[in-house]
Amino acid sequence: MRPTIVQRRRGAPPLPVKDGLNPTRVRVPEGHTGITARDFLTAVIESQRHRHPQDDGSALAQRFADHEVVDPQGNPLDPDTALAEHQDVWFYRRPAPEKKVPFDIAILHEDDRLLVVNKPPFLATMPRGQHITETATVRLRRETGNNDLSPAHRLDRLTSGVLFFVKNPADRGAYQTLFANREVQKTYHAIAPHRPELASVCPTVWENRIEKTPGEFQARIVPGEVNAVTTLADVVPLSDDEHRLLESHHGSQPPLARYVLSPQTGKTHQLRLHMHLAGAPILGDNAYPAPLPAAQEDFHRPLRLSATQLSFRDPFTHDFRTFRL
């Protein structure tokens, strides 16, 4: 049996956010009518790739005792309840232990609707895969006590910089629409080997089609309609002091420069892949030109890519707003 973890639909789930974590909805697969809720969730938990070592039968029994296993209407399920195929069940997954990311999340701005932060590298934006508690979303929910906090957009786990969260669920759609409609002006800074020939053509636009297959680490350029557009706005050589500081973390380096990038789209690994293809792979990149094993990640050698500024017209106040590092 291969249980299906189902993505959330619009509308409030029948269980609240708990300790910063959303509940999980799973669906009974075809051909398993009559399986008990206990046996079904046992299979779900045992199939988790990243499973807490203490998430055993007694831990599952406690979920049932605490009425934390429910149907879509919020009715608690008994362990011996017989389920139908395609029936949805809600419960709380227990995250596996994660390596602590040793960086704080700095708050840049806060008002009634938004919480704007400087996300550090190595911290995912939202829970996914093996990164659940070590994410900006869960950390900030726990630190602020606001379980309604949700990101309006996403930064890759290794990318740092300006990230903003919406405080109220009713407001989230309006801010997400800004990103979907490409109404947010974004500026990133990347540190990479200095290529004077790139500086001579600024500003220049890189555009192509990027695709990324789930389960594969690298994205790739493929033929087809353009879906990834990045403007290279400027290339500024680093000072001697900046260069020495980076070498103290990354070892000996060729001459380096700061590349000012403005992406019009937000494909996964877009800036990293565009910089690599331009002959200037970003310092600290573990994916391009060659993937590195996760075990080689070093908190002292982060990806030198940061979202430094976001600008947009607020959908509620209609003011033009800019948040920067």
Give the containing element (helix H, strand E) for 230: strand 228-237
Six-digit token string for 61: 């029994």
Is pTM beyond 0.85? Reply is yes
**In degrees, to the nearest 5, what angle opens at C-alpha 228 toward C-alphas 225 and 230?**
135
Give the containing element (helix H, strand E) for 206: strand 204-211
**In degrees, to the nearest 5, what angle opens at C-alpha 155 toward C-alphas 154 and 156?**
120
Q: State the pLDDT at residue 5.
A: 58
Mean pLDDT of 200-206: 95
Q: What totals of helices (H) and strands (E) does the chain contain, helices first? A: 7, 14
Q: Is 281 within 8 Å of 275 (Cβ atoms)?
A: yes
Return the axis-axis angle of helices 57-65 and 37-47, rounded to nearest 10°: 130
Q: What is the biggest distance separating any 2 CA atoms in the chain, rounded to whole angstroms?
A: 71
Q: What percent of the chain has pLDDT over 90?
A: 89
3 — pLDDT class (breaks 50, 70, 90): low
Q: Which amino acid is at 40?
A: F
Distance between CA atoms of residues 206 and 268, nearest Å: 15
User: Which residue in the block uniquely carries the two structure tokens 């895969």?
Assistant: 129
Distance between CA atoms of residues 8 and 15, nearest Å: 12
Mean pLDDT of the chain: 94
Distance between CA atoms of residues 275 and 237, nearest Å: 16
1 — pLDDT class (breaks 50, 70, 90): low
Task: Quick: pLDDT tens for 271-315.
Answer: 999 999 999 999 999 999 888 887 788 999 999 999 999 999 999
Residue 200, burial from CB neighbour count under 10 angstroms (0-12, 13-18, 19+): exposed
Task: Quick: pLDDT tens for 123-162.
Answer: 999 998 889 999 999 999 999 999 999 999 999 999 999 9
